[in-house]
């Protein structure tokens, strides 16, 4: 092992170099020479870290749900977390010498699970399955105020659930229930359409019947009016005929025959043949 070595960190790494129990180098992306036998280097990542998770929880109606998602976080106080967890590295390989950095993700996921469980236990299964976005928002808001994260010097950047579903058996039962509900709605829609069609047909027939009745009433009124007009016309014609014939009542038969022959003479051009019997001549001569 070289006594003097050169160390170069990345810009997204915060470095603490300790020698004899005190910090001799500190900063993001630090580069420096160090004395190997007495120098300890701690590396705290500053970049965001994605921590996927999956766990099972129970809803308020004692139904199991599978929760899968991802939390993204970052270190905002490297000094604090370096004092609580061991981020010491091998200067040559830059590998961590403890399991603390690897366990950090699980610590944060455990906090996510705790808040997720707390909210899921207030929701029934059906409500939980419909509320993944709302649930993630509420958990994220809690994480922003979570004292355990603040004490570690960590800030939550984002949280989302990629999956929030029931067990396969419950899922099949819910699917069957939904299919049945959809079928009932479809049947109800068909029934409503048929009922509406029957109602429309009834209205059409009612309108046709009302129209027929109105037509028959109008026809009856028309027939009555025509009959009344014909009766009045016949009465007027009879009265006119009576008036015209009144002067002839005072004339004798020969005079009436004479008038008749006079009309024959006036209309001779319209008469083809005219037969005068002996009885008619006798009446004329004797008149």
Q: Report pLDDT digits (tens) over 194-212.
A: 888 888 888 888 888 888 8
Alpha carbons 116 and 110: distance in angstroms, whole number: 10
Question: For 20-42, what is the mean pLDDT?
Answer: 91
Is residue 283 assigned to a domain?
A: no
Confidence of residue 268 (pLDDT cuts 50, 70, 90): low
Q: Give yes or no: residues 116 and 37 share one domain.
A: no
Q: Which domain holds residue 55?
A: 48-81+98-166
Q: In this structure, what is the dihedral angle of CA atoms 192, 196, 198, 201, given to the nearest 10 degrees?
A: -170
Confidence of residue 286 (pLDDT cuts 50, 70, 90): low
Domain of residue 56, CATH code: 3.30.479.30
Is residue 277 assigned to a domain?
A: no
- Asked if the model's pLDDT at residue 83 lies above 60, the reply is yes
Torsion sign across C-alpha atoms 41, 46, 47, 48: positive
Domain count of the chain? 3
Q: Give yes or no: residues 258 and 194 share one domain.
A: yes
Give the residue among 64, 75, 69 at the shortest CA–CA distance from 136.
Answer: 69
- Asked if the model's pLDDT at residue 189 lies above 80, the reply is no
Q: Give yes or no: residues 104 and 116 share one domain.
A: yes
Q: Give yes or no: residues 74 and 53 share one domain.
A: yes
Confidence of residue 250 (pLDDT cuts 50, 70, 90): low
What is the DSSP code (8-state) at residue 270?
G
Q: Give yes or no: residues 180 and 128 share one domain.
A: no
Alpha carbons 27 and 43: distance in angstroms, whole number: 10
pLDDT value for 188: 83
pLDDT value for 243: 76
Confidence of residue 104 (pLDDT cuts 50, 70, 90): very high
Sequence-distant (≥ 6) Cβ neighbours of residue 52 within 8 angstroms: 68, 69, 70
In this structure, of 41-45, 73-77, 264-268, the range with the lowest mean pLDDT score is 264-268
Alpha carbons 281 and 287: distance in angstroms, whole number: 10
Is residue 67 assigned to a domain?
A: yes
In this structure, of 116-120, 245-249, 282-286, the range with the lowest mean pLDDT score is 282-286
Q: Give yes or no: residues 253 and 188 share one domain.
A: yes
Q: Give yes or no: residues 53 and 145 share one domain.
A: yes
- Asked if the model's pLDDT at residue 1 lies above 60, the reply is no
What mean pLDDT value characterizes the chain? 85
Question: For 121-127, what is the mean pLDDT?
Answer: 91
Is residue 62 assigned to a domain?
A: yes
Torsion sign across C-alpha atoms 7, 10, 11, 14: negative
The overall pTM is greater than 0.75: no
Helix then strand count (H, E) for the chain reads 8, 9
Alpha carbons 213 and 266: distance in angstroms, whole number: 56
């Amino acid at each position: 092992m070289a006594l003097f070595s050169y160390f170069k960190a990345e810009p997204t790494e915060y470095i603490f170099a300790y020698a004899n129990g005190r910090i001799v180098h500190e900063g993001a992306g630090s580069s420096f020479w160090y004395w190997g036998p007495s120098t300890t280097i701690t590396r705290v990542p500053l970049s965001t870290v994605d921590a996927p998770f999956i766990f099972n929880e129970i809803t308020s109606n004692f139904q199991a749900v599978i929760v899968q998602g991802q939390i993204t976080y970052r270190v905002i106080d490297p000094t604090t977390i370096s004092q609580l967890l061991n981020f010491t590295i091998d200067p040559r390989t830059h590998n961590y010498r403890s399991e603390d950095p690897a366990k950090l993700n699980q610590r944060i996921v455990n906090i996510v699970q705790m808040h997720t469980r707390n909210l899921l236990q207030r929701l029934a299964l059906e409500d939980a399955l419909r509320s993944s976005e709302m649930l993630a928002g509420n958990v994220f808001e809690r994480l922003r105020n979570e004292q355990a994260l603040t004490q570690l010097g960590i800030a939550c950047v984002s949280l989302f659930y990629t999956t929030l579903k029931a067990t396969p058996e419950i899922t099949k039962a819910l699917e069957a229930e939904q299919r049945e509900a959809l079928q009932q709605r479809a049947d109800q829609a068909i029934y409503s359409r048929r009922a509406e069609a029957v109602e429309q047909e009834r209205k059409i027939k009612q309108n046709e019947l009302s129209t027929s009745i109105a037509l028959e009433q109008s026809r009856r009124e028309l027939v009555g009016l025509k009959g009344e007009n014909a009766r009045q016309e016949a009465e007027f014609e009879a009265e006119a005929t009576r008036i015209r014939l009144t002067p002839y009542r005072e004339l004798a038969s020969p005079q009436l025959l004479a008038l008749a022959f006079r009309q024959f003479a006036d209309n001779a051009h319209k008469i083809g043949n005219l037969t005068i019997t002996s009885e008619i001549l006798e009446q004329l001569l004797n008149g």
